[in-house]
Amino acid sequence: MKKLMLLVVVALAGFAPVKNGYEVGDVVADFKLKNVDGKMISLSDYKDAKGFIVIFDCNTCPMSRAYNSRIIDLHKKYASQGFPVVLINPNSAEIVAEESFEKMKEHAKEHNYDFPYLYDESQETVRKFNPTNTPHTFVLTKTADGLKVAYIGAIDNNSRNGAKASKHYVEEAVNELLTGKTVTVTKTKAIGCSVKLKNS
Amino acid sequence: MKRTTFIGFFLLLIGLSVASGQGFIKLAQLQKSINEPGKIKVINFWATWCAPCVKELPFFEKVNSTNKNVQVLLVSMDYDLDPNPEKVKKFIARKKIESAVVILEEENPGDWIDKIDKEWSGALPSTLIVNPVTKKRKFIQGELKEGDLEKLIDEISK
């Protein structure tokens, strides 16, 4: 009987729709991931946050390097307004050795990160968000239903030079949320490094 | 006649390629060459800064030199971070790349990534394979393994 139940469950699971990660409007499940300082971090730790700028970013991607100071500036500008930056490394050190937790610690120190840079060893959280490239941003906003995805995509539309970007997507999304508006541009694409998931 | 026009266009494309000039191509030209009748197109989107891209380039080189039913085009996305084509040119010379190489010269990728393929997130490497006769397309995101390209070409040839 138990075996039959299990079979039914497996069969049902087989028919479940394939989800390709969170979409705009989805409620995000909280996580508990290890920060470069060794502490475990959850989004629920931030009692006063109005939302988050969650960025999937890594040690090695040249596109990530191009955006490094812009990410630091985003935190500087928005953490005090209730939208702190939280970085998560989506890459597996099993695929790229330079993405190890030790190397993440060095990277965070080198760039004086004053926000979390989280290691997701199981890649469970990464698979839920399903970022496709680095850097890949998810702006989350606190609602009565929980943390909802308000924006997915690029930080701005000029990888080479942020000062010359004509669109600052993340800033515009957060500004709209801060003034109680709905986000106008909710999804964008950019050239970036592919995410290196293990066993794929 | 059509065939001559096509060959002429492709020669023009090769003429535009990095080895012998600036090597820049605009999106409209690229779209035209993707959909041009004739051989199966294997179009790889890469950049000199992308390690997995560089790693898989030999697979494209192999197909380019051994499969005469296929046209390989390596589309460099380097312009996005560095508008100077020198780095790409030097890379092509150093690696002795024989496939046709062009640099896509367009600002603001968010505006045109979907025009190349709706499935494309913008991540590198990515590869588009098109059969102009059957209009079948395959878009692969991420790094290819040895033998993948041959399998994909085989599937799209049917």
Domain boundaries, chain B: 2-157
Ranges of each domain in chain A? 18-194
**Which of B48, B43, B55 is CA-nearest to residue B77?**
B48
Give the minimum alpha-carbon distance from A191 to chain B in angstroms, rounded to a whole number.
Answer: 4
d(CA A86, CA A140): 11
Is the torsion defined by CA of A73, A76, A82, A84 positive or negative?
positive
Q: Percent of chain A beyond pLDDT 70? A: 90
d(CA B71, CA B130): 10
Domain A18-194 part of CATH 3.40.30.10: yes
- Sequence-separated (6 or more) residues with CB below 8 Å from residue B39: B69, B70, B71, B132
Q: Which pLDDT tens digit goes with each residue over B9-57?
A: 555 555 455 555 569 999 999 999 999 999 999 999 999 999 999 999 9
CB-closest option in A159, A189, A195 to B81 = A159
Are A115 and A88 in contact by the 8 Å Cβ rule? The answer is no
Look at B67 and A200; give whichever has higher pLDDT. Answer: B67
Q: Which pLDDT tens digit goes with each residue over A129-156?
A: 999 999 999 999 999 999 999 999 999 9
Confidence check: pLDDT of B3 > 60: no
Average pLDDT, chain B: 90
Q: Is B51's CB within 8 Å of A189's CB? A: no
Give the minimum alpha-carbon distance from A134 to chain B in angstroms, rounded to a whole number.
Answer: 8
Tell me how far CA of residue B4 lies from CA of B1, B7, B12, B100, B131, in angstroms: 5, 5, 12, 19, 19
Q: Which residues of A touch B143 (CB under 8 A)?
A: 194
Confidence check: pLDDT of A200 > 90: no
Question: Would you give the DSSP letter of residue B19?
Answer: G
Q: With bands split at pLDDT 50, 70 and 90, how would you rate the model's confidence at B81?
A: very high
SS3 A56: strand
| Segment A39-67 mean pLDDT | 97
Q: Is B110's CB within 8 Å of A194's CB? A: no
Q: Which of B49, B78, B121 to mutate to test the interface with A (most CBs of A within 10 A)?
A: B121
Question: What ipTM describes this predicted complex?
Answer: 0.86
pLDDT for the residue numbered A16 = 45
CB-closest option in A96, A133, A196 to B122 = A133
d(CA B103, CA B89): 10
Q: Which residues of A touch B49 (CB under 8 A)?
A: 62-63
CB-closest option in B83, B122, B125 to A190 = B122
pLDDT for the residue numbered A20 = 84
d(CA A57, CA A66): 11
Give the minimum alpha-carbon distance from A196 to chain B in angstroms, rounded to a whole number.
Answer: 9
Q: Which amino acid is at A68?
A: N
pLDDT for the residue numbered B5 = 52
Q: Which residues of A touch B77 (CB under 8 A)?
A: 191
Q: What is the number of residues in chain B?
A: 158
* Of the candidate ranges A17-31, B34-48, B53-67, B130-144, the one whose mean pLDDT is the lowest: A17-31
Q: Which pLDDT tens digit goes with each residue over A89-128?
A: 999 999 999 999 999 999 999 999 999 999 999 999 999 9
Confidence check: pLDDT of B83 > 90: yes
CATH number among 3.40.50.620, 3.40.30.10, 3.90.550.10, 3.30.930.10, domain B2-157? 3.40.30.10
User: Taking a contact as any Cβ pair under 8 Å apart, which residues of chain B between 38 and 67 contact chain A?
Assistant: 47, 49-52
Longest pairwise C-alpha distance within chain A: 66
